[in-house]
Amino acid sequence: MKSSLRFGAVAAAGALLLTSCGGDSPDNGDNGAEAAEGLDICYVTAAESHAYVSPANAAFQDAADELEVDVTLLSQEFEAQTGTDQLRTCIGRNPDGIVLWPLDPQAYIPGLVEAQDAGIPLVLINSPMDEEAEGLYTSFTGPDTYEQGQLAGDVLDEELGSEGNVVIIAGQAGNGTTIGRTDGFNDKLEELGSDIEVVQTVNADFDQQRALELSRDVLSQHGDDLQGVYANDDTMARGFIDAWTESGRDLEDMPAIVGINGQQDAFESIEEGYYTATIVQSPEEDGRLALETIVGAATGEEVDSRIPIPLTVVTEENVADEEPAF
C-alpha cells in the first residue's frame, strides 16, 4: 500500500477549522453551566443500538448530565417516517431545544418549519440536509460527509494508480450521509481524471449483515476482476471482508478497501495489511458537540451555523500513531 502524506495536512486543516469555530461555540464555564441547569432538550436520534450512533448518544447524555440538562431521547431506528413523527412530538412538548439526527435530506423540512415558527432552537447532528433546509435550523454539527468521500476517493485512486474496478458499498438510499460520502467519492475520481471504474454501487443500509449478503452477489459478479472497495463505513467494509473470506479467498488477495469511522477492527485490519485506509471521526465528539451547541443556542448564545468535527485519514503509515474512534 502506498503512503499518503498529504492527508495529514487535510486532517490538520480540519482541526484548525474546528478551533476557529470554537470562538463562537458554546461557553461551558461556570456561567454557562449555571444557565444550562434544568434545560429541557428533546433529542431525536438515528437509533439506540448501532456501532457509531450508540457511543454518540452516550456522549450526548454524559455531556447533558455534566451540565444537569434534562434529555428526552426518541429513537427513529433508522426510519425517517418515524423520525418526522418524533420531531413533531418534540415540538409539541415545547422544549428549550431540539437535536435531530436526520436520516433523509428533505423529509424533516416541514417539522423544521414548525420548530422555527414555535421559536425552538434546533441543531442537526451528524448528517446533512438539502439546501432547502438551510435557515430552518440553528446549527449543524458533525463531520463533513462530502469531504469524507473526497478523501476516500483520493486515497483509493492513489492506492490503485488511478485504474481498476471498484465497488461502492453505500449506506441507506436517500440518506444525507450516504449521498455526501458517495457523491464526494465519485466527484473526486472525476476531478482527478481517474480511470477507476465504479462497476457497481449497492446500498447496505450501514448494516454489516446486509453488507455481507450483498457482497456475496458482488463477488459472484466481479470477484475475479475487482481491485477496490469503498464502503461508506467500516461496519459495511467488515461485511465485505466476511464475504471474501467465506468464499475461500485469501486475505492476501483482498482488494484495496477504504472505509469510514475509524473503528478498532479497521485499525487492526490495516495493521494486518489487508485494509487500505479508514477515515476517523469520533462519535464521542459528535455527540458532545451537538449537546454543547444546543445548550449554547438555548441559553441565548450565538453559535455558528456549521460546526464540523475533524477528520483523519489512517493508513499503514500512521496507524500506530492514531487512536481508533471506537
The model's pLDDT over 75-126, given as tens digits with 9 standing for 90+, comes to: 999 999 999 999 999 999 999 999 999 999 999 999 999 999 999 999 999 9
240 residue type, one letter: F
Distance CA 90, CA 224 (A): 51
Considering the chain, tell me which residue range(s) the CATH 3.40.50.2300 domain(s) occupy. Answer: 25-141+284-303, 145-280
Which residue is associated with the grid cell 503512503?
Answer: 3
Per the structure block, which three cell numbers stand in for 205? 443500509
DSSP string, 193-249: T-EEEEEEEEE-TT-HHHHHHHHHHHHHHHGGG--EEEESSHHHHHHHHHHHHHTT-
- pLDDT tens-place string over residues 4-55: 322 333 333 333 333 333 334 444 445 556 789 999 999 999 999 999 999 9
User: Which numeric CATH code is attached to 25-141+284-303?
Assistant: 3.40.50.2300
* Strand order from edge to edge, sheet including 40-45: 70-75, 40-45, 97-100, 122-125, 139-142, 306-308
Question: What pLDDT, on a 0 to 100 scale, did the predictor assign at position 16?
Answer: 31
Q: What is the pLDDT of residue 31?
A: 56
| pLDDT value at residue 13 | 34
- The CATH class, in words, for 145-280 is alpha beta
| 272-322 per-position pLDDT tens digit | 999 999 999 999 999 999 999 999 999 999 999 999 999 999 999 999 999
